[in-house]
Chains A and B, each alone.
Chain A
Amino acid sequence: MIDTAVGVAVLGGRAVARGATAALMPTRVALRVTRLGGPLQRAAEAATTTGRTARRDLVRAGERQAEIVLAAPELGRLVDRVFAGPLAESIVDSVATHRFAHRLVDAMLTDELVADVIDRLLKTGAIATVVDDLLESGQLTKIVDHIIETGTITSVIDHLLSSGSVALIVSYAATSPQIEEAVREALTASRVEAIAAEITASGQLERWLDQILESPALQRAVVSILESDFVVTTTDHFTESEEMRKVLTAVASSPEIRSALAEQSMGMADEITSGVRRRTVSLDDRAERTARKLFRRPVEKDA
């Protein structure tokens, strides 16, 4: 039924297009024959330029509005309401019920959509802009706080585990060059330090870790990741990478590290020899007492 309707619509459209072409035929002929073609073409070019400028202005205006929205306190209140209300849980439940997450993840990863998106985001610097805005507005901490408190993360992990999407995501993350590039950019930027400083200064890191570590869903996710090939692949990748070699070289050549290792080694050696000394002193007395008893000699008292 739907196919028939679509077919009728397409045929109708084609008929209209042909009719319009035929109806405009005299006009096209007149434009080519007379001198009206030049001014009309110039007018069309002027309209194109105006349209391009208007579109550019529109994009700039959109960016300005986005910045204003991100910096506005209303956004924070909106985030509060969203996470405090039943909407977040409803979305998660709905996603789980319809196996939406699994299908979405599957489709995105197989169609290389994620790779394209990450590629574009990296090129345009949008990730950096968003992170900067989040940091400036102070919403990052609040968002993470809400996600953990409402149990949304637990539900998401549960649903991802039950749908088998975790293995898919982990496998993709381990092999994708786009993910690697994104991580590298994030690590080289000063934003990571800013995020870490903000989280540490707010004292929330410890609380988050406690809440996450107590979550059975996260424990299941960790077990799932450890059972996958992710650990082996990632370990191989890191050990073979040039960055790892540079890090090891830097660490090995650091005088502080060398000094600390030397001190630790000396401390361990001292501890071992002290333990041996204590034992040999007691063995001295014991051997002496045994030998004296064996030969029925009087046991010497302490000097």
Chain B
Amino acid sequence: MTQPAGGAAGMPAAPTERDVTHPFAGIVTRGVAIAIDGGAAGALFALFAIGVSGALAALGFADVGTLPSVLGTSAVWLAFVVGYFVVCWSTTGQTIGMRMMGIRLVTRTGSPPNVCRSTLRYFAQFPSILLLFGGVIMVMFHRQRRALHDVIAGTFVIYADAPVDMVTRALHGASADESSAALHAPSTDQTAT
């Protein structure tokens, strides 16, 4: 029995119930994962904002609706969301939504991307969306189901329960041994570029 790729990064593999014929995650699975992440990040930020606003109100800072407060909240929100995605991608390769949908972000070596690569991928999503979602629709036509931000950041989104040898062949046929070793050994891609 082939070992699923989800065992990498120290995370338990997703249930191998589905019939995976392609190691790379498609647009629907990724879209559902993003939607879940939006809800999760929103909920986490709401809890954070309630705590902070309560603390500010207790300290006497009750000016809500002014330009500085709106800008400040937006900046905190952006930092929060960026932090959420970057931390999740660079540690386990999975956000909450990706974990639920059984997909994982990896580099060509099969390990999770480092912080710089994760940050780059996050901000590369903006041009993907601004080009009338052309960078996202690209997933349906790319041979390895990569979006524009994946190409820019050098990342791949794979099914976590896809067989390792299938992922290895698909990721990097030339250096299959290296990829296979990386998929078995949980470590972040701090050195890979």
Contact of B22 (CB < 8 Å), options: A295, A297, A302: A302
Of B24, B100, B143, chain A has the most CB atoms within 10 Å of the CB of: B100
B9-40 Cβ-contact flags toward A at 8 Å (1 or 0): 00000110111111111111100100000000
Q: Decide if B89 is an interface residue (CB 8 Å cutoff).
A: no
Known interface pairs A277-B101, A297-B141. Does A284 touch B27 (Cβ–Cβ under 8 Å)? yes
Any A CB within 8 A of the CB of B169: yes
Taking the closest CB of chain A, its distance from the CB of B23, in whole angstroms, is: 6
Contacts of A281 in B (CB 8 A): 18-20, 26, 29, 159
A274 with B17: CB separation less than 8 A:
yes
| B26:A291 contact, CB within 8 angstroms | no
Smallest CB gap from B29: residue in A:
A280
CB <8 Å contact, A303 and B170: yes
| In contact, B18 and A285 (Cβ under 8 angstroms) | no
A20 to B175, CA, bound (A): 133
Contacts of A270 in B (CB 8 A): 15
Contacting A at CB under 8 A, from B23-65, are 23-29, 32
A274 to B15 CA separation, bound complex (whole angstroms):
7
Q: How distant is the Cα of A274 from the Cα of B145 in the complex, in angstroms?
A: 22
**Given that A277-B14, A303-B169 are known contacts, is A284 also in contact with B100, CB under 8 Å in the complex?**
no
Q: Count of B residues near A, CB < 8 Å?
A: 28
Complex: chain A residue closest to B20, CB-CB = A281
Which residues of B99-157 have CB atoms within 8 Å of chain A's CB atoms?
Answer: 100-102, 137, 140-141, 143, 145
- B-facing mask of A20-38, CB < 8 A → 1, else 0? 0000000000000000000
Question: Does any Cβ of B come within 8 Å of A276's Cβ?
Answer: yes
Contact digits for A193-215, partner B, Cβ 8 Å, 1 yes 0 no: 00000000000000000000000
Considering residues A278, A283, A291, A303, which has the most beta carbons from chain B within 10 angstroms of its beta carbon?
A: A303
Closest CB in chain B relative to A275 CB, distance in Å: 9
Tell me if B22 and A273 are in contact (CB < 8 A).
Answer: no
Q: How far is the CB of A17 from chain B (nearest CB, A)?
A: 97
Give complex CA distance A300, B140 in Å: 10
Report Cα–Cα, A17/B25, bound state, in Å.
113
Q: Which residues of A contact B21 (CB under 8 A)?
A: 285, 302-303
**Cα distance A291–B145 when bound, in Å?**
13
- The verdict on A292 contacting chain B, using a C-beta distance below 8 Å, is yes
B166 CB–A CB distance under 8 Å = yes
Cβ proximity bits A236-280 to B, threshold 8 Å, 1 near / 0 not: 000000000000000000000000000000000010011011101
How far is it, in angstroms, between the C-alpha of A265 and the C-alpha of B22 when the chains are bound?
Answer: 31
**Quick one: which of A292, A300, A303 contacts B166, CB cutoff 8 A?**
A303
Asked whether B26 lies within 8 Å of A292 as measured between CB atoms, the reply is no
Chain A proximity of B160: nearest CB distance (Å): 10
Q: Which residues of A contact B14 (CB under 8 A)?
A: 277
Q: Is A288 an interface position by the 8 A CB rule?
A: yes
Interchain nearest-CB distance for B75 vs A (Å): 34
In the complex, A155 Cα to B25 Cα: how many Å?
69
**Which residue of A has the minimal Cβ distance to B28?**
A283
Q: Which residues of A contact B19 (CB under 8 A)?
A: 281
A287 at the binding interface (Cβ < 8 Å)? yes
A276, A284, A300 pick with most chain B CB within 10 angstroms? A284
Q: Which residue of A lies closest to B162 (CB)?
A: A303
Q: Are A292 and B140 in contact (CB under 8 A)?
A: yes
Asked whether, in the complex, the Cβ of A278 is within 8 Å of the Cβ of B32, the reply is no
Inter-chain contact A288/B26, CB cutoff 8 Å: yes
Q: Are A284 and B101 in contact (CB under 8 A)?
A: no
Of the candidates A287, A297, A300, the one whose C-beta lies within 8 Å of that of B27 is A287
Separation in Å of the A296 CB from the closest CB of chain B?
11
**A291–B142 CA distance with the chains assembled, in angstroms:** 12
CA distance A283 to B31 in the complex (A): 11
**Residue pair A291, B141 in contact (C-beta under 8 Å):** yes
Which one of B15, B17, B25, B166 lies within 8 Å of A284 (CB-CB)?
B25
**Cβ–Cβ contact A280 & B24, under 8 A:** no
* Complex A-B: 19 CB contacts under 8 Å: A273-B101, A274-B17, A274-B18, A276-B32, A277-B102, A280-B28, A283-B29, A284-B22, A284-B28, A285-B26, A287-B26, A287-B28, A288-B26, A288-B140, A291-B137, A291-B141, A292-B140, A295-B141, A300-B143
Which B residues lie at the A interface, using CB under 8 A?
14-15, 17-29, 32, 100-102, 137, 140-141, 143, 145, 159, 166, 169-170
**Beyond A276-B101, A277-B29, A280-B101, 4 extra complex contacts between A and B, CB < 8 Å:** A274-B15, A277-B18, A280-B26, A303-B24
